[in-house]
Structure 1
């Protein structure tokens, strides 16, 4: 794995997270998806879910797993985004994607997902990237479709009753698998 900070696109620096990053990463992920702070961006889940999106234990598990990476993205030394990549045989899983709300909608996400795809291809030889998205998030799914991901129609239930993933505000939540060939 590439753990040396790698500047790209001028100002952005990518590196693998370490356990010293856990608290900052939890704060970033929460700010992008939950509560009033998340409403400053367009990726909020605040109308669908209350409570936490993740916790320190969950983030630390991703960082410490030998089959995954938690890529941090910094601009001028400030944490602005992150994403998880997990090696799963011939494909990689993309998750835990968060961009600070104040910088959403300016092309940063597009740049980061392209870097994640490159890293999955080069690090693990992944031929596909998989992700799951709450199917009610039509605007977010459309954003991924514009990046080459396709809906599969394969659904998995939301973990109702497990507050580690939030407190659902609707009873129809489920995840849809999206897939992109990496070439």
Structure 2
């Protein structure tokens, strides 16, 4: 287990796109992702995101990609987007050797604060692949609840990866942010 570090947080800009794509890919796909516990390498091959997708979320209204740096190293990121009184949380990645250090918790808390302070959101929503039991449990320990509401995995759309199994679906998880 790594020691807890105190990152500096900032909103991403266009020049961060390549670093964000590399971080997200390293956290979820391929052998590099196996250094951490959030890997999806046994579930999906291919890409997790690409520069066009990141550029699109950076340019969207009511959308932000938040970054966590230590010194000059990008170690975590996430995407938050306002949907009425709720924010959507996604594209969450922590540098695999730093997973388990508390950095992910700090990034998630920063995203929740951002949604509350910037948009006055009352809830945070996310979708998690339902067979990711350890990840779901991690979110539950941080106040998220399973809703039992599922949506289909986008089979056939390689922008989301190439599935290695045919039973993937997303479950909506929700956390109330109101004080």
TM-score computed with the length of structure 1 as normaliser: 0.94
Asked whether the 8 Å contact 2:5–2:102 carries over to 1, the reply is: no
Query: Which residue in the other structure is 1:86 paired with?
Result: 81
Asked whether the 8 Å contact 1:68–1:87 carries over to 2, the reply is: yes
Query: Which residue in the other structure is 2:117 paired with?
Result: 122
Given candidates 30, 38, 41, the residue that maps to 2:36 is 41
Query: Which residue in the other structure is 1:58 paired with?
Result: 53
Deviations along 1:85-136, whole A, 9 cap, x unmatched?
0010000000000000010001111111111111100100000000000001
TM-score computed with the length of structure 2 as normaliser: 0.96
Asked whether the 8 Å contact 2:23–2:93 carries over to 1, the reply is: yes
Unaligned runs of 5+ in 1: 1-8
Matched, 1:73 2:68: yes
Matched, 1:172 2:131: no
Root-mean-square deviation over aligned CA pairs: 1.0
Larger RCO of the pair (alpha carbons < 8 Å, separation 6+) = 2
Trace 1:130-169 onto structure 2 (pairs within 5 A).
Answer: 130-169=125-164
Asked whether the 8 Å contact 1:11–1:76 carries over to 2, the reply is: no
